[in-house]
Structure 1
Amino acid sequence: MTSVPSATDQQAVTLRYNNGAVALHWLIAVLILTQLYIGFVFAGMERGPQSMQWFSWHKTFGVLILVLSMVRLGWRLAHPPPPFPDTMPRWERLAAVWNHRLFYFLLFALPLTGLATISAGGGGTTELLAGIPFPLIPGIPDAAGDTLGETHEVLVFVFIALLVLHVAAAIKLQFVDRSRAAGRMPPLRAPSDAKV
């Protein structure tokens, strides 16, 4: 059974993420949006020196997202999220919990499938920006490269769908439901006439 936190005493409970979680959330969000842009531009380019520069950016942002996601997961385990308001329907709480779990899964799966794709058939290192070497995953057969690349692409579109759902839910909480849950992730704030 999935545990869905809720506030038992609305006056005594702080219904917002702490500053560390907020900083990591928005930093990773900016990196992801930039990474999506870079990925789609790179995918549409003809192979050459310019596309390889974009690919270096793509790999570098992927590594940054992976490292920050590890930090974020550690932070999340040490600092539980704020409870949902009791007025929030149970199905919305469950949807929010699973949306976050899928986000965490994809924050690891996307960089790792990307790394596995470029590791297929080779070993050693790959170059990030400024020629920084980053280790490849050893032992991945060359024949797996296409399948891994296709998996990576599918996960990108799953991530985009999840992102659209996440943003739509935030807008709904803020402007339609006018719920206190809207203020869990600053700089969003709970409406002054929010349901308690």
Structure 2
Amino acid sequence: MAEPRNRYSLVSLTFHWGIALLVAVQVGLITVFERYDAAKDPLAGAYIGLHKSVGMTILALTLGRIVWRLMNPAHPLPVAAPRWQNLLARTTHILFYVLLIALPLGGWAASSAAGRAVEWFGLFSLPGLPVPLDRALARTFLDMHEAGVKVLYVLLALHVVGALKHHFIDRDNVLYRMLPILRRRP
């Protein structure tokens, strides 16, 4: 089996693991938010405000990651892997990029349609997107946002299972390239 090249660059690793960490934070924030009565508890507003701020950060980092990747193409996939696996890997990565842009934009659109501000960690407010003020439209955007999150969970599961398959079954160095704590296999 042809071995994958060495590790990704520090910039690529930082984008990958930074965005992954922020996605995990998002899951935690929305889980906590859902335990509060948004109409009665001021903490609910704080959690959803943080959720929006982290979402905008994910959007900015994802756009930066795409620019970086265009300038620094991804390492080739293992030559010995079946074509369908390489196609699934490429499709999964493209869908990650699409969702990591669409989810924050969908949340921003929902906030804009509801007439709610999107602030970035209390430092500044983002302008509303050019959508009509319409509660039903806001709900539609929010429903789409929630559906997209479910797709993201499926992609995350595929991504993790694929990485573990490469490491424990194929015994190649694909996971080594992206996980700094692993040693390269001989």
Distance 1:126 1:24 in 2: 23
Match of 1:32?
23
- Of 133, 136, 145, the match for 2:125: 133
Match of 2:36?
45
Match of 1:4?
none
Alignment of 1:101-116 (within 5 A): 101-116=94-109
- TM-score norm. by structure 1 comes to 0.85
Q: Is the 8 A contact 1:85 1:180 kept in 2?
A: no
Match of 2:13?
22
Match of 2:49?
56
Q: Unpaired runs of 5+ in structure 1?
A: 1-6
Query: RMSD between aligned alpha carbons?
Result: 2.1
3-state DSSP class of the match of 1:20? helix
Distance 1:19 1:129 in 2: 26
- TM-score norm. by structure 2 comes to 0.89
Q: Unpaired runs of 5+ in structure 2?
A: none
Residue identity in the other structure for 2:88:
A
Distance 1:157 1:37 in 2: 15
Q: Is the 8 A contact 1:65 1:107 kept in 2?
A: yes
Deviation digits for residues 38-58 of structure 1 (CA, Å, limit 9, x no counterpart): 112212321121100101110
- Of 59, 65, 69, the match for 1:66: 59
- Of 127, 138, 157, the match for 1:164: 157
Aligned length: 183
Match of 1:3?
none
**Stretch moving more, 146-155 or 131-140:** 131-140
Distance 1:126 1:91 in 2: 41
Distance 2:172 2:183 in 1: 6
Q: Is the 8 A contact 1:106 1:159 kept in 2?
A: yes
3-state DSSP class of the match of 2:118? strand
Task: Note the C-alpha offset of 1:60.
Answer: 0.6
Percent identity between matched residues is: 37
Deviation digits for residues 146-173 of structure 1 (CA, Å, limit 9, x no counterpart): 1111100111111011101111111111
Distance 1:132 1:43 in 2: 25
